[in-house]
Amino acid sequence: MDWQELINKRHTTFAWEDTVPERETIQAVLEELYMHVPSKNLQFPWSIYVYRNNNFEIQKEIMTICHRNRERDINIDKGNPQVLAPWIIAFTNRWVKDLERRYEKTSDRPDFAQRDSEQIEIGIVALFLALAFANRGIQSGFCQNILNNQTRAKEIFKVAPDHEVRFIMGVGYGKSSDTLHTYIDPRTGNEKLIPFIPDNVERPYPRPAFESIFNFVGEN
């Protein structure tokens, strides 16, 4: 897939097909990520946990944790159905050991510096994965609301004690992005419309002006 086609095909997905991507496909993308994603001195200050999301009660719990608007009753809340994908990737921190540091010791580097590197790199990793999956016809959807209950999130995704979940990404074959699909909300058992049509994302969330984001400086 060429670059323009790839970036046009990638979109946040809320509606999932019943067909599930093979574990081997997920593994292949992760191996591609491992070999090619940039990381400062190849330290990888992050970790990934891949969860097969096929337990209805756990789906219900994840949806409850990821409640879109806590001031709104769940019966009318549109929810975050991207977390109902057949696979969920949980992104966490990973404390870099002294032996993995090339030019400095852990004691020489403050915790906030580790946290900054981790957050920057997780963003890079997430985009790499989203594009790598899209290149295989697989879509994704991000959700940070899992942080509403860090303790339970760590239990669900079997995260190491010294790791913390930063956000999650649903992964699977997405339904068409130009239709307002419905889904069954496991919290209520009701059929609901997805939050918005991915192809029309700028309708509920207007994009800021280009000039307010990008700046050319140092030009005479």
Q: pLDDT for 50-85, tens place per residue?
A: 999 999 999 999 999 998 777 888 888 889 999 999
Q: Which domains does the chain have, with CATH numbers?
A: 3-212 (3.40.109.10)
C-alpha 35/C-alpha 213 separation (Å) is 31
Q: What is the DSSP letter of 174?
A: B
Q: pLDDT for 93-140, tens place per residue?
A: 998 775 555 555 555 556 666 678 899 999 999 999 999 999 999 999
Buried b / exposed e along 62-100 (16+ C-beta atoms within 10 A): bbebbbeeeeeebeebbbbbbbbbbbbbbbbbbebeeee
Q: Would you give the distance in Å from CA 163 to the centre of its chain?
A: 17
Average pLDDT over residues 41-52: 94
180 versus 109: which is more confidently predicted? 180
C-alpha 171/C-alpha 89 separation (Å) is 7
Three-state SS at 155: helix
Q: pLDDT for 183-207, tens place per residue?
A: 999 999 999 999 988 878 787 888 9
Cross-strand bridge partners of residue 132: none
Q: What's the pLDDT score for residue 111?
A: 62
Average pLDDT over residues 19-26: 98
Q: What's the pLDDT score for residue 105?
A: 53
Q: Are 65 and 153 spatial neighbours (Cβ–Cβ below 8 Å)?
A: yes
Q: What's the pLDDT score for residue 139?
A: 97
Average pLDDT, the chain: 90
Q: What's the pLDDT score for residue 67?
A: 86
Q: What is the number of other CB atoms lying within 10 angstroms of the CB of residue 7?
A: 12
Read off the tokens for 130: 């989203």
Cross-strand bridge partners of residue 143: 168
Whether residue 1 has pLDDT greater than 90: no
Read off the tokens for 152: 């339970």
C-alpha 55/C-alpha 53 separation (Å) is 6
Q: What's the pLDDT score for residue 198?
A: 83
Residue that has been written with the tokens 């999932």 in this structure: 16
Nearest CA among 29, 18, 1 for reference residue 169:
29
Cross-strand bridge partners of residue 48: 91
Nearest CA among 211, 213, 123 for reference residue 169:
123
Q: What's the pLDDT score for residue 117?
A: 86
Q: Which helix (H) or strand (E) holds 52?
A: strand 46-52
Average pLDDT over residues 15-22: 97
Q: What's the pLDDT score for residue 102?
A: 56
